[in-house]
Chains A and B, each alone.
Chain A
Amino acid sequence: MLIPAFLAAYTGDNAAEVSLNPFDQMPKPNYRITYNGLSKLPGFKRLFSAFNITSAYTSTMSLNSFITDLDFNGNYYYYGHTVDTLTGNFVSLYEIPNIILTESLAPLIGFDVTWTNGITSKFDFKKSRTLTMSFIDYQLTQINSTEFTIGMGYKMSGFTLPFKIKGKRPNLENDLTFKFDFSFRDDITTNFRLDQDLNEPTGGMLAITIAPTIDYVVNDRFNVQLYFDRMQTIPKISTAFPITSTNAGVRVRFSLAE
């Protein structure tokens, strides 16, 4: 009885019309939309060499396990005969300990742009939701996550360093790549219990990541990278600690492969 009520509420359907049997549900389509024609339009042609817009939606419903309820005693298909003496509810045909609904908009909207001057930029806005309804303790655990990422990249050759070494400004002739990534994520885990009118957040955090890098190809075998990576998490509950980690350094890669 709880499953159709639960599904109706979260799909936004009318409870008076939904199917009473969860196994009767038709699978619903998930989609991904991609549009990359914007750079071909006359006005944009001069600005962008590629422009992709993406949006995708995936969602699943799963009854991870079901097993015959040995107390079910019905001659009628699916209709319970016996009543649980403790709760006064009908015993159902199957015991279904939980039902999981997941949903993710990865991304809700995403742009991936290559400009005509060589700069690439990326923007993604993602959202996801996981709902686990337990029919053992009648508790719903909801995990919501929202994330946006921004990425920039630029590749150039013949870069003149802005400082002097031995009285000269050295010119870097090979490919120099700049990259910058920023992401911001907001997670929250919360519990609801039936008939208790209570929302109990049990976890969650804000995570902010900043990661710029500079790559220089000295020659075929030799690569140098300057990197910086900072991640900060700000928890939403008082029992967790805020964590900040920063990594920075130089990475030198020498390839021996022919």
Chain B
Amino acid sequence: MAPGFGFVFGEQPTYLWMDSIANAGQLSTATSMNQLFIQTYNETLDLRANFEPLKDFRLDINVNKNYSQNASELYKNTSTLEDPVFEHLNQVDMGTFSISYSIFGTVFEKLDPKKVSATFKQFEENREIISSRWSETNPVYSNEEFLTRMMMYCCQTIQKVTDHIHRMC
């Protein structure tokens, strides 16, 4: 019974399922296989509501969301025909995302063509805050190896700049 009832009723498998059927010997072991394994996902949300809190006073609310994702990978035998080893290669996800939103917080901001808007300046400042929040959560950031690498990178840049200045002099 392969691929089974899950296939009939539209089950969305994960990579574990792929591994399991490969181990069960249900996949071709051809090493020259170059067909992609593709999985698509779509999500659409459309909510509408009408309120009439007072007579003749209507309030219509709507909320939307659209998400689509297309995941593809090459799942194939990278070893020999006799002793197959399956690997997930070249995993690529792509898609689109859009939601109903609200930027009402800055709606009445005046746009002066001669000045950078305050909101944009806020955006520039926010970068530091977000960056430090990432660094707190990213376990790689506190990793010593990473820090040394980062230091090396910075030193290289400084070295390059000083070299450049020396050359100019």
Contact = CB atoms under 8 A, between A and B. Distances in A.
Interface residues of B, number: 61
Interface in A34-88: 34-37, 40, 57-68, 70, 74, 76, 79-81, 83, 85, 88
Main secondary structure of the interface of B (DSSP, over half): mixed
A1 interface: yes
Contact of A37 (B55, B92, B104, B127): B55
Given A79-B137, A80-B138, A9 B111 contact: no
Interface in B84-116: 91-107, 111-116
B116 A199 contact: yes
Q: Which of A16, A60, A194 has the most CB of B within 10 A?
A: A60
A59 B100 CA distance: 6
Contacts of A59: 100-104
A94 interface: yes
B150 to A, nearest CB: 7
Contacts of A25: 99, 101
A199 B114 contact: yes
Contacts, number: 205
Interface in A201-257: 201, 204, 236
A31 B94 contact: no
Given A25-B99, A37-B54, A10 B92 contact: no
Contacts of B126: 4-6, 8-9, 15
A119 interface: no
A140 interface: yes
B56 A40 contact: yes
A140 B124 CA distance: 12
B149 interface: yes
Interface of B: 45, 54-65, 67, 91-107, 111-117, 119-120, 122-127, 129-131, 133-134, 137-140, 146, 149-150, 153-154, 157
